[in-house]
A = this chain, B = another copy of it.
Amino acid sequence: MTDTTPPEDRMQALARALQQFADARDWGPFHSPKNLASALIVEAGELLEHFQWLTEAQSRDLAPDKLEAVRSEVADVLLYLIQLSNVLGIDPVAAAQDKLAENAGRYPVEKARGNSRKHDEF
């Protein structure tokens, strides 16, 4: 007999590793969805902080050390998003796939092209 289970992908492996990380430290009581959603937005603030005084053009052309700092904040946001998804029993990648399919219906190419008003309602 062959095992036909698809191999765990990187996000699933991260979800499992984060669960073990928190369990080993008895952090379950702190990790309510309410608290994790707060931690996530706090990290999103630290991410935005890097861009707040930059022009849009400057934000597209970060120096290497700045880019590295931004990458570290992107990681923090993703780690909390995965942990929040864990405690809620959500698969965040599947949720994003569903949402993208939905958005394709809401923003048909011909109407949305370069349209900042449509975009504004995104």
Contacts and interface: CB of A to CB of B under 8 A. Distances in A.
Contacts of A99: 72, 75-76, 79
Given A44-B45, A88-B70, A119-B27, A33 B9 contact: no
Q: How many copies of this chain are found per oligomer?
A: 4
Interface residues of A, number: 77
A104 interface: yes
23 contacts: A9-B9, A10-B11, A14-B100, A18-B100, A24-B109, A24-B113, A25-B107, A25-B113, A30-B116, A34-B56, A35-B53, A38-B52, A41-B41, A42-B49, A44-B44, A44-B77, A67-B88, A67-B90, A70-B88, A72-B99, A74-B81, A74-B92, A78-B78
